[in-house]
Each structure stands twice: as C-alpha cells, then as structure tokens.
Amino acid sequence: MFLEGKVHKIKSNFYYVQTREGLYTCKARGKLKSKGRILVGDLVTITPDRNLTGVIEEIKPRKNELTRPPVANLDQVIVFLAARQPDINCYMLDKLLVQIEAKNLPSVICINKMDLSSPQEMEDIVSVYCGAGYKVILMSLVTKEGLSDLIDILHDKTTVLAGPSGTGKSSFINSIRQGYSLQTGAVSKKTGRGRHTTRHVELLPLKEGKGEIVDTPGFSRLEISHISSQELPWLFPEIKRLMGQCKFSSCLHKAEPGCCVKEELARGSISPRRYENYLQILEEIQEKERNFI
C-alpha cells in the first residue's frame, strides 16, 4: 500500500511528509537519499510503516523549484513592501518582479505598514503597478487593515514571501501561525546577524483552510545574470502584452523605429518609471553580455 503526500520539512535525513492520514516521519529509498535530491514542497509517494513512519519511494515531477530557499512546487510569491521604514525602492522592486516573472511565478504586491501612511500617498505606486498588471494590497499588521485580503490570497496555495528586510515578513508569518514564533526585527548585537542563521526550510500550514507558506523569504539576492536581453521584455507584463506588434521582431524597445512600446509610452498607458527601470535593467544585462563575448 502506498500513500501520497507533500514534504513539509527536512531535518537530519528525516523527511516530514504530510498525507491525508497524518504527518509521517520518513526515510528516503536508495538514490533519493543523496542530499538535495528531495526538496521541501515535493509531492511524494511513501510506503507507510507503523507509528506514522514510512519510506519515500518516488518524487512526482515538479511544477517549479527555487534554489534560495530550496523549495519545490510553489504557486505564488507575495512581494512584501512597507509604505515607510523602509521606503519603497522601485528599481529594486522591478528587478525583484523580473526575477519572479523569470521563474514563471505569479506575484502579488503587498504594501504593509499602512498605519504609517495613507492611501493618497500610495496612490501613484498603486496605479503604476496595477496598470502593469499586478495585484496590489494595502495593509497593516498593526491596525490589521487589509490583512484578510492577503489571507484570502494564500488559501489553497503554496506561497513564498519576498521583499526587502524590515517590511514585516516575519511578523506576518508569526501572525498567521499559531504557537510558532520567528524572530522579528531584532538582530544579534554580538554578530550583527539575525540569530537564526542555520535554520531549515519548512512549509507552515495555514491556521484556516488549506495551503502553506514557506517560512523563509526567497529571492533575497537580486541576481539577473541568467536573464538575456531578448528575454527581458517578456518579464515586464505590460511590455509582454505588446510583443509581436513592433516592426522588428527582435525589438528591444529602446529606440527602434516602429516600436509599439514607445507608442504606448507616449500614450501614457505604460508608466515612464517602469520603462526607465526596464531600460536600466536592460543596460545592466547588455553590459554583462558584451563582457561575455
């Protein structure tokens, strides 16, 4: 008899597999044993043994996987920002969104700490990113406004958080997880680093309903080295929509004649700030490509 389940945690060669019959503590069979072969988030088949123990026999094909943190089969990324403290850096945000798009993962932008700001102050940024095609949620963990909108989005999904430090990611994870406390804000005076530096990755089940959240933020390094200049336009949803309509099929939407991205920019349907950041990221990529040749 086999059981199917999802790996929620890996710790010293034990795999914690959530099945409909309960949480099984498993070992891995044969070649699956080698380190890094099985990831948190993997869907697996196990042979159950007594007392909720078992053996992992097989990994199902993955929908996607991340290396940082090492986790498979994600459904979405919540990009955590703060209205203030720290202020929003749109260039960093666009670079982060590009990385998430490159993994083919949907993202939702969440602007936390709205208790320190007002919807009027956020109007510009909300219209830019909604216009680009992203869902934007305004919220505060202090006043709890907007929190239920975010929780609705998590339902039935496996979610990873991303975004700059200090925006409230750990606080949010704490708030949705009963009896579980991640370190927030405080940094060790001795080492200057967070105290929990060697933690394992874990999927935390949501308090209500199905779905899990990864307990460690992803996309912490803004690496774009694996993205090519031809690929970049596909990673801006508002540019992607126009692909195939420019005069030249290889158009990079800089200054080529017959460019419909430039036309939409002139019409005001593409945000100048997003476009500037597109050009700047493109420049960074092209610089790397020139050095590589």
Using alpha carbons only, give the angle 221, 222, 227 rounded to the nearest 5 degrees.
Answer: 125
Nearer residue to ligand GDP within complex by CB, 18 or 184: 184
Tell me how far, at minimum, the Cβ of 245 lies from Zn ion, in Å. 8
**Which residue among 170, 216, 271, 277 contacts Mg ion (CB under 5 A)?**
170
Which of these ranges, 33-41, 56-64, 103-111, 140-148, lies near ligand GDP under the rule CB under 6 A?
140-148
Which of these ranges, 104-112, 179-187, 254-262, 263-271, lies near Zn ion under the rule CB under 5 A?
254-262
Using alpha carbons, select from 151, 152, 87 the residue that is nearest to residue 113. Answer: 87
Burial of 161 (0-12, 13-18, 19+ CB in 10 A): buried
Verify binding: residue 246, Zn ion, rule CB under 5 A.
Answer: yes
Say how many C-beta atoms besides its own lie within 10 A of residue 175's C-beta. Answer: 14
Nearer residue to ligand GDP within complex by CB, 5 or 163: 163
> What distance in Å separates the CA atoms of residue 120 and residue 40, rounded to the nearest whole number?
41
Cβ contacts of 60-68, under 8 Å, gap ≥ 24: 64/103, 64/104, 64/105, 65/39, 65/41, 66/103, 66/160, 66/218, 66/219, 68/218, 68/219, 68/220, 68/221
DSSP state of 262: H
184-213: which residues touch ligand GDP (CB under 6 A)?
184-185
Which of these ranges, 66-74, 139-147, 221-229, 241-249, lies near ligand GDP under the rule CB under 6 A?
139-147
End-to-end alpha-carbon separation of the chain, Å? 56
Verify binding: residue 169, Zn ion, rule CB under 5 A.
Answer: no
Say how many C-beta atoms besides its own lie within 10 A of residue 46's C-beta. Answer: 24
61-80: which residues touch ligand GDP (CB under 6 A)?
80
168 binds, among ligand GDP, Zn ion, Mg ion, none (CB under 5 to 8 A by kind): ligand GDP
Which of these ranges, 35-43, 160-168, 237-245, 262-270, lies near ligand GDP under the rule CB under 6 A?
160-168
The DSSP line for 87-124 is PP-HHHHHHHHHHHHHTT--EEEEEE-GGGS-HHHHHH
> What distance in Å separates the CA atoms of residue 98 and residue 132, rounded to the nearest whole number?
12
Tell me how far, at minimum, the Cβ of 170 lies from ligand GDP, in Å. 3
3-class state of residue 293 by DSSP = coil
Verify binding: residue 99, ligand GDP, rule CB under 6 A.
Answer: no
53-72: which residues touch Zn ion (CB under 5 A)?
none
Structural tokens at position 132: 């680009």
**Which residue among 115, 145, 149, 256 contacts ligand GDP (CB under 6 A)?**
115
Verify binding: residue 170, ligand GDP, rule CB under 6 A.
Answer: yes
Verify binding: residue 270, Zn ion, rule CB under 5 A.
Answer: no
Verify binding: residue 116, ligand GDP, rule CB under 6 A.
Answer: yes
- The answer to whether 160 and 77 are in contact (CB under 8 A) is yes
Which of these ranges, 49-57, 169-177, 239-247, 252-260, lies near ligand GDP under the rule CB under 6 A?
169-177
Residues that bind Mg ion (CB under 5 A): 169-170
Residues that bind ligand GDP (CB under 6 A): 80, 112-113, 115-116, 140-142, 165-171, 184-185
Residues that bind Zn ion (CB under 5 A): 246, 251, 253, 259, 261
